[in-house]
Amino acid sequence: MTKYMDQTGWALTLGLAVLIVVNFFIPEWFRAILLLSLARGSVALGLLVLWRCGLISFGHALFYGFGAYTVALIVKYLGITDVFLTVACGVVVAGGFAWILGFLLRRYRGIFFALLNLAFSMILYGVLAKLESLGSTDGISLEQTTYLWYEPEGAANKTTLFFFAAVMTWAVAMAVHHYLRSTLGYMTTAVRENEIRLEYLGYSAERAIHVKYTISGLVGGFGGAIAAMTIGHVDPDSMAYWPISGDFVFIAILSGTGNVGAPFIGALLYELIRTYAFEQFPGIWQLIMGGTLLLIIMFLPNGLWSLVDRWNQRRKERNRLEARAQEEKA
C-alpha cells in the first residue's frame, strides 16, 4: 500500500466505483436520495473532524447554508452556471467564514462552542429570511448547471451531476482522511484527551482547533453547494434553520466518528429512515426519527461504525487465537 492508499482509501474508491455502476440501475428518486446523502454526509464529515477533538457544533447548517446560498447567488446575480466555479466559490466562502469565526470560536470548548455555532447559524437564518434581495423565505431557484463546455439536457443532467458529486465527494473524503492521518490530524485526539499536555509538547491547541474548524467549514460548504444543485432551489428553512443543524448532529451520532466513510453511510440511512417514516406515519414521523436516535444512543453509543470496529476486533482476536493454536501445534 502506498502512502495515500490504505484500507480506507481503497474502501472509498470502491464506494465510488459502486456508486458509478449503480447509477445505471437505480430509479431517479433513489438517485436524488443518494445525491442528498453525499451532500449531507459531507457536512457530517465536517462535524466528524471537530468531534475527533471533542467538539460538537449545533450550528453546522451555517456552512451548509453559506455553500448553498453562494452557489444560488452566483447563478442568480452573475449568471455563472459552471459547477466547478460555483462549487469552488461555495467552498471558499464557507471556508473563509469558518476561518474568520475560528478566531473567536477556537477559544471555547464544550457547550459554549456548540451554542455559539448555533447562534451564528441563526444569525445567518435571520438575515436570509428577512432580506428580499436574498430571496427571503421563498428562497432562490437555480438555473440549469453546466460543466465546463458541457451542457447536459434532460436525464443526462441528473447523471452528470451525480457523477460530479460522487467524484468530488470521494476527493473530499480522501483529502480529509489523509489530513486526519497526518501529524496535525492526530493532534485532534490529543486535544480531546489532554490539551495541556499537547501545549507542553510545543503545539498550540487553539491553532489546531482553528485549522480543524476551517476544514470543517470548507467541507460543510461543499455539502451545501452539492445540495443546492441537487434540489435546484435554496431556502432558509431547508438550508440554515436550526433543525437542519440538528439533522447533521443526528447523522454524526448515527454514523460514529470511526471512519471518514461513516458519515455517508449514516446520511444515506438517515434519508431512507426519514423517507419511509414520512410515508408510513405522516403525522408522527418526527417521533420515529427521535426514537431511532434514542435507540442508537442506547445500543450503539459509538454509532454505526462501531459495528465495523467490533467485527474488525473479533476478526483480529480470531486471527490471534488461530496463530497461537498453530504455534502450539508446531
Partner 1 sequence: MKRVQGRTAVLLASVASVALVAGAASAQTVKMGIPTFLTGAGAPAFGIPAKEGVELIIRGINNGELPAPYNSVGLAGRKIEPLIYDEAGGGTKQVTELRNKVQKDGVDLVVGYISSGTCAAVARVAEEVKVLTLMTVCGTPRVFEELVKKPKYLFRTMSHGTGNNTGAARYIAAKHPELLKDGFIGLNQNYAWGQDSWRDFSLAMKIVAPDVKPARKQQFPKLFSGQYGSEISALLRAKPKVVHSSFWGGDLEAFIAQANARGLFKRKTFILTVGETVAYRLGRKFPEGQIIGTRGPYGMYAVGIDTPLNNWFQKEYRKTYGYPPAQPTYQYAQGILGAKYAYDKAMKDNGGKFPTTDQVIKALEGATYTSLAGTVRMALSNGHQAVTEDRWGVTVWDEKKGEMVVKDVVVFQPECVNPPDGVLSVPWLEGGMQGAKCG
Residues that bind partner 1 (CB under 8 A): 27-30, 32-33, 36, 126, 129-130, 132, 135-139, 141, 227, 231-235, 237-239, 241, 243-244, 271, 275, 278-279, 282-283, 285-286
Q: Of 312, 195, 252, nearest to 56 (Cα)?
A: 252
For the chain, what's the residue count?
330
Our CB check for partner 1 shows the closer of 188 and 238 to be: 238
Our CB check for partner 1 shows the closer of 197 and 310 to be: 310
* CA angle in degrees (0–180, nearest 5) for 90-95-100: 130
Q: Of 88, 256, 52, 264, nearest to 173 (Cα)?
A: 264
Beta carbon of residue 99, minimum distance to partner 1 (angstroms, whole number): 27
Residue 146: strand pairing partners: 82
Beta carbon of residue 115, minimum distance to partner 1 (angstroms, whole number): 20
Our CB check for partner 1 shows the closer of 37 and 216 to be: 37
Our CB check for partner 1 shows the closer of 174 and 244 to be: 244
User: Cα–Cα distances in Å, from 158 out to 21, 76, 83, 299?
Assistant: 15, 21, 13, 38
Beta carbon of residue 234, minimum distance to partner 1 (angstroms, whole number): 8
- The packing angle between helices 110-130 and 242-255, to 10°, is 140
Distance CA 16, CA 7 (A): 14
Beta carbon of residue 142, minimum distance to partner 1 (angstroms, whole number): 9
User: Cα–Cα distances in Å, from 236 out to 6, 117, 140, 219?
Assistant: 40, 16, 10, 19
Beta carbon of residue 64, minimum distance to partner 1 (angstroms, whole number): 10
Our CB check for partner 1 shows the closer of 63 and 213 to be: 63
